[in-house]
């Protein structure tokens, strides 16, 4: 092994990695922050239309998804505790549960979007083009925000799958768990954003 | 902070029970929001819904993300980022409010 | 090294034998110093592409009407010039090049916190840059929206805007990751005993910059994605025809792009702050004021974006509010200028090339800054908005400020980076030529801008011709000076005489190292001083 590689391997700074993840979360918050800003501006202008638009969304599906994400947030936090307490089996179960909840969330999203598409309500469709400005903006925001959020769910799932494999092969253990810690932080971010998306899109009827 | 891997040495982690209690609390707030928005307080509804969302995110950040047990630096950073974002939104809305 | 036994034999980072040799040893390197050089080669290459585009515009302006290109070509040229210069040269310029090289060294660290991420940022930078350049040659024609991509034109024009915005998005991501890396580095990689207020001021300015990169760039990221979605899926956020509001695009765009101006200028100020005490052999005046003014600029700089939009139809109340905030942000910049000048007072000044460039920087920055106040006040802004006056103003800030600071920094640190010295006499002559050329090029634009010459027009009324020709001549003088400067630097880096460890008598940590430094920077633990600038 050359010196060059050794130079970079010997350095380990878990607190630094975690700080890095937090900073990345700040970036993500501002990324969604831009969208929330667009939402606030248009809602201020088209208050009534947003109100009507949200009637088209199913509060039940939204609530189920909220619960799924909150639950998964707890399970991933428990997985971290389990790894720290050297309970590998429980950790695997908890990460597995988190992934399951993520899948439930995406499935619901699929049903929801599918129904909208079925009714001809999707960006660029004739129905969308015929809407007045407020409704159009509401549904544009709905598709864009939930779409971007779903994309983050998928990224989070990939990250947590990697964590699952590494816990299984003991690469993540009670001495080295910063990867799982960062994966969990990312997952909580996804949850945090949904906590705001849910009332803003579903509950303004 | 002197020991770079200080937290790797002590790792009891957050108690399972505490995490469970937080979840119950979050669920309660979720149903509270849904009920409140169905009752309809007019323009106040969204404000209340957002306030509850704020409380929920406090619990997620403080307990699930363990911010409560992090150093002062991180706490200050998180708060500053939120303040900065709120300032940006408010300043933008000045334009739209008075237009 | 890793076993910590005995003294390490010195091998410079340029000659260090790693796993790979030749070009691969560069493309796979995780050494912050090599990554810095790779950034520099990229930045310098694109800079000259941008310069050539700028010169073609000056040639076009030699006569009214069509000289060498059609109006549409001119639209493409100024757009590409803007995209290249802003996103590929100025934003990564000082922070990615000199920040990468000297941030870890100045705080006594071995590397940045995440070396792999650092290399990844460089690859993102190159990918984004290639995309941006390719977008110029697409069938649809080069993007013609200006570097600002204002909607609704950008969402309806037929040119290859999608590719250019994707490029800007990727470049932004590279910038975010660099910023993230630097913040963690400052917090975690400082040598034992190096407190925040023992750091030199270049790291301070990089730290403030990194926060802007981290928190402002995602806003432009999401805005560009929305713009792309608008073009691809007709999700209308900004195009009034689709229900959107174009002014909201301008808000989002400037929420990033105004702080981005500080991403450009803060590291420049930081580099100048390193150079001035060295060539005056005097302790910096007001260390804490300079350090904290960096943070103040970063903080207040977030809240002043609206001064780019006085004429866009923003509400009256928002306009005076933004104007007020703009005047506040001028204060910390002025504090810095004041401190630089007081540092020179009664110092033993040595007019070497870095100091000449630093002096030029201060002079040009004062002109750019005060004309900025003129633009920051609503009443005058309405008169000169979108005229050559604005063009002159931001070139004085961006080129006269950041560009000249880059030249100052490279003349200051090149002996350390390559271990060789350039010809000082030629460098001095080039510096004077650059300064003269720059002023001849841009100063007339203040004048014709006041008289009503709009920006971004390939044509103009005949009465502006004398000033335009004068300005074009300045462009060629400047280009000549730049070629002379770079030729001298390249020759120095390749075959100049060996540079001593501390050619300028500097007091910060990089000058305690051999030139060029070894792979690990500090083979022995550095001695941390209470004040990094302790000249007697």
Three-state SS sequence of C190-202: CCCCCCHHHCCHH
- At residue C536 the predicted structure's pLDDT band, cuts being 50, 70 and 90, is low
Q: Is C497 helix (H, G, I), strand (E, B) or coil?
A: strand
> Is B33 in the same domain as B47?
yes
Q: Does A15 touch chain C (CB under 8 A)?
A: yes
Residue C165 has pLDDT above 70, yes or no: yes
Q: Does A31 touch chain B (CB under 8 A)?
A: no
- Contact (CB, 8 A) for A32 and A193: yes
Residue A10 has pLDDT above 60, yes or no: no
DSSP summary character for residue B22: H
B24-80 confidence digits (pLDDT tens): 999 999 999 998 888 767 677 788 888 999 999 999 999 999 999 999 999 999 999
Of B46, B52, B92, the CB nearest to A204: B46
CB-based contact A30 C216, cutoff 8 Å: yes
> Is B13 in the same domain as B58?
yes
Structural domains in chain A plus CATH codes: 15-202 (1.20.120.80)
| Alpha carbons C512 and C534: distance in angstroms, whole number | 14
Q: Does B91 touch chain C (CB under 8 A)?
A: yes
| Alpha carbons A141 and A145: distance in angstroms, whole number | 6
- The C-alpha of C523 sits at a distance from chain A's nearest C-alpha, in angstroms, of 12
> Is B43 in the same domain as B12?
yes
> Is B27 in the same domain as B44?
yes
CB-based contact A15 C242, cutoff 8 Å: no
- Contact (CB, 8 A) for A108 and A65: yes
- At residue C158 the predicted structure's pLDDT band, cuts being 50, 70 and 90, is confident
Residue burial C348-365, b: 16+ Cβ < 10 Å; e: rest: eeeebbbbbbbbbbbebb
Q: How far is CA C251 from CA A175, C245, C248, in A?
A: 47, 10, 5
In a domain, C536, yes or no: no
> Is B61 in the same domain as B76?
no
Query: Computed over its alpha carbons, how large is the radius of gyration of chain B?
Result: 18
In a domain, C5, yes or no: no
Nearby residues of C70 by Cβ (< 8 Å), 6 or more positions away? C458
A107-153 confidence digits (pLDDT tens): 999 999 999 999 888 887 878 777 888 888 999 899 999 999 999 99
CB-based contact A32 C222, cutoff 8 Å: yes
Q: What pLDDT is stored for residue C239 in this prediction?
A: 86
Residues of chain A numbered 20-49 and touching chain C (CB < 8 Å): 20, 23-24, 26-28, 30-35, 37-38, 41-42, 45
Of B4, B5, B56, the CB nearest to A195: B56
Mutation site for C-interface testing, chosen from A5, A8, A13, A34 by largest number of C Cβ within 10 Å = A34
Residue C281 has pLDDT above 60, yes or no: yes
Residue C381 has pLDDT above 60, yes or no: yes
DSSP summary character for residue C99: I
In a domain, C24, yes or no: no
Q: Whats the size of chain C, residue-wise?
A: 536
| Alpha carbons A50 and A60: distance in angstroms, whole number | 19
Strand ranges for A79-179 from DSSP E: none
Of B7, B30, B64, the CB nearest to A63: B30
> Is B75 in the same domain as B49?
no
- At residue C8 the predicted structure's pLDDT band, cuts being 50, 70 and 90, is low
Residue C468's closest CA among C392, C525, C532?
C392
Question: How many structural domains comprise chain C?
Answer: 1
CB-based contact B19 A78, cutoff 8 Å: yes
In a domain, C335, yes or no: yes
Question: Where in the sequence is the domain holding B92, given as residue range(s)?
Answer: 71-99
Q: Does A203 touch chain B (CB under 8 A)?
A: yes
CB-based contact C303 B91, cutoff 8 Å: yes
Tell me the β-bridge partners of C387.
Answer: C454
In a domain, C80, yes or no: yes
> Is B45 in the same domain as B89?
no
Q: Does C187 touch chain B (CB under 8 A)?
A: yes
Residue A6 has pLDDT above 80, yes or no: no
> Is B14 in the same domain as B46?
yes
> Is B39 in the same domain as B19?
yes
Residue B9 has pLDDT above 50, yes or no: no
DSSP summary character for residue C10: P
- At residue C209 the predicted structure's pLDDT band, cuts being 50, 70 and 90, is very high
Residue B4 has pLDDT above 70, yes or no: no
In a domain, C523, yes or no: no
> Is B99 in the same domain as B53?
no
Q: What pLDDT is stored for residue C6 in this prediction?
A: 47
Chain B partners (3+ C-beta pairs within 8 A): A, C
Backbone phi, psi, residue C112, to 5°: -75, 170
CB-based contact B87 C303, cutoff 8 Å: yes
Write out the two tokens for C155: 């969402």
Q: pLDDT higher for C10 or C409?
A: C409
Residue C61's closest CA among C476, C390, C460, C475?
C460
CB-based contact A191 B78, cutoff 8 Å: no
Cβ pairs bridging B and C (under 8 Å): 36
Residue C285's closest CA among C207, C365, C201, C369?
C201
**Residue C382 is inside which H or E element, if any?**
helix C378-384
10 Å CB burial of residue C442 (0-12, 13-18, 19+) is: buried
| CA-based end-to-end distance of chain A | 64
| Alpha carbons C99 and C368: distance in angstroms, whole number | 24
Question: Where in the sequence is the domain holding C459, given as residue range(s)?
Answer: 33-512
C37-79 confidence digits (pLDDT tens): 999 999 999 999 999 999 999 999 999 999 999 998 999 899 9
Q: How far is CA A102 from the centre of its chain?
A: 9
> Is B43 in the same domain as B16?
yes
> Is B97 in the same domain as B82?
yes
CATH number at residue C428: 1.20.210.10
| Alpha carbons C445 and A13: distance in angstroms, whole number | 52
Q: Is C242 helix (H, G, I), strand (E, B) or coil?
A: helix
Mean pLDDT of C333-361: 95
In a domain, C356, yes or no: yes
In a domain, C522, yes or no: no
Q: What pLDDT is stored for residue C476 in this prediction?
A: 96
| Alpha carbons A97 and A103: distance in angstroms, whole number | 10
- Contact (CB, 8 A) for C385 and C455: no
Q: How far is CA C518 from the centre of its chain?
A: 27
Q: Does C321 touch chain B (CB under 8 A)?
A: yes
């Amino acid at each position: 092994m050359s010196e060059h590689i050794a130079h970079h391997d010997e350095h380990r700074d878990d607190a630094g990695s975690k700080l890095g993840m937090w900073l990345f979360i700040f970036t993500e918050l501002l990324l969604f922050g831009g969208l929330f800003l667009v939402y606030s501006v248009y809602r201020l202008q088209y208050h009534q239309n947003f109100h009507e638009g949200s009637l088209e969304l199913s509060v039940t599906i939204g609530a189920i998804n909220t619960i799924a994400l909150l639950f998964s947030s707890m399970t991933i936090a428990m997985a971290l505790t389990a790894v720290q307490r050297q309970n590998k089996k429980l950790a695997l179960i908890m990460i597995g549960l988190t992934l399951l909840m993520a899948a439930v969330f995406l499935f619901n999203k699929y049903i929801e979007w599918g129904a909208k598409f079925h009714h001809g309500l999707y960006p660029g469709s004739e129905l969308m083009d015929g809407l007045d400005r407020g409704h159009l903006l509401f549904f544009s925001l709905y598709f864009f925000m939930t779409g971007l959020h779903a994309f983050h769910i998928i990224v989070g799932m990939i990250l947590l799958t990697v964590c699952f494999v590494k816990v299984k092969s003991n690469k993540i253990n009670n001495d080295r768990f910063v990867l799982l810690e960062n994966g969990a932080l990312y997952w909580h971010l996804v949850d945090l954003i949904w906590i705001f998306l849910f009332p803003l899109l579903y509950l303004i009827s | 902070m002197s020991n770079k891997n200080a937290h790797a040495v002590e790792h009891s982690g957050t108690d399972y029970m505490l995490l469970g209690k937080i979840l119950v609390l979050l669920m309660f707030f979720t149903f509270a929001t849904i009920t409140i928005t169905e009752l309809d307080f007019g323009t106040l509804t969204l404000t209340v819904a957002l306030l509850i969302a704020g409380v929920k995110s406090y619990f997620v950040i403080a307990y699930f993300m363990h911010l409560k047990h992090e150093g002062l630096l991180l706490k200050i950073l998180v708060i500053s980022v939120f303040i900065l974002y709120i300032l940006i939104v408010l300043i933008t809305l000045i334009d739209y409010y008075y237009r | 090294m890793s076993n910590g036994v005995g003294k390490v034999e010195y091998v410079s980072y340029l000659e260090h034998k790693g796993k790979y040799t030749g070009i691969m040893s560069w493309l796979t390197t995780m050494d912050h110093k090599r990554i810095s050089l790779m950034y520099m080669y990229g930045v310098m290459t694109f800079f000259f592409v941008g310069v050539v585009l700028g010169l073609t515009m000056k040639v076009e302006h030699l006569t009214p009407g069509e000289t060498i290109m059609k109006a549409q070509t001119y639209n493409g040229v100024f757009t590409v010039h803007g995209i290249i210069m802003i996103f590929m040269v100025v934003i990564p310029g000082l922070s990615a090049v000199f920040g990468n090289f000297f941030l870890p060294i100045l705080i006594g660290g071995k590397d940045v916190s995440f070396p792999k991420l650092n290399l990844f940022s460089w690859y993102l930078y190159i990918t984004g840059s290639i995309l941006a350049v390719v977008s110029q040659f697409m069938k649809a024609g080069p993007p013609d929206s200006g570097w600002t991509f204002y909607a609704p034109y950008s969402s309806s024009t037929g040119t290859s805007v999608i590719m250019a915005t994707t490029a800007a998005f990727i470049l932004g991501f590279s910038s975010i990751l660099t910023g993230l890396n630097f913040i963690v580095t400052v917090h975690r990689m400082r040598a034992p005993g190096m407190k925040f207020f023992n750091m030199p001021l270049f790291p301070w300015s990089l730290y403030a910059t990194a926060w802007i990169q981290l928190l402002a760039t995602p806003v432009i990221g999401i805005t560009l994605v929305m713009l792309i979605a608008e073009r691809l899926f007709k999700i209308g956020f900004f195009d009034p025809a689709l229900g959107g509001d174009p002014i909201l695009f301008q808000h989002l765009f400037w929420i990033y792009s105004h702080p981005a101006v500080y991403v450009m200028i803060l590291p420049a100020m930081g580099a100048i702050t390193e150079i001035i005490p060295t060539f005056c052999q005097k302790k910096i005046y007001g260390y804490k004021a300079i350090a904290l003014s960096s943070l103040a600029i970063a903080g207040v700089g977030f809240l002043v974006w609206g001064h780019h939009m006085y004429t866009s139809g923003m509400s009256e109340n928002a306009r005076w509010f933004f104007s007020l905030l703009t005047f506040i942000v001028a204060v910390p910049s002025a504090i810095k200028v004041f401190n630089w000048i007081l540092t020179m007072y009664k110092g033993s000044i040595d007019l070497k090339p870095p100091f000449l460039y630093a002096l030029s920087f201060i002079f040009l920055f004062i002109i750019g800054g005060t004309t900025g106040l003129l633009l920051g006040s609503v009443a005058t802004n309405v008169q000169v908005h979108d005229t050559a006056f604005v063009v002159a103003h931001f070139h004085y800030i961006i080129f006269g400020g950041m560009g000249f600071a880059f030249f100052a920094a490279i003349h200051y640190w090149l002996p350390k980076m390559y271990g060789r010295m350039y010809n000082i006499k030629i460098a001095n002559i080039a510096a004077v030529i650059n300064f003269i050329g720059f002023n001849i090029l841009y100063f007339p634009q203040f004048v014709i801008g006041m008289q009503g010459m709009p920006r971004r027009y390939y044509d103009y009324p005949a009465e502006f011709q004398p000033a335009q020709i004068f300005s074009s001549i300045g462009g060629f003088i400047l280009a000549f000076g730049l070629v002379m400067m770079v030729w001298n630097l390249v020759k120095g880096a390749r075959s100049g005489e060996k540079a001593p460890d501390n050619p300028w008598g500097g007091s910060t940590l990089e000058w305690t190292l051999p030139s060029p430094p070894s792979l690990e920077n500090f083979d022995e633990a550095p001695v941390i001083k209470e004040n990094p600038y302790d000249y007697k």
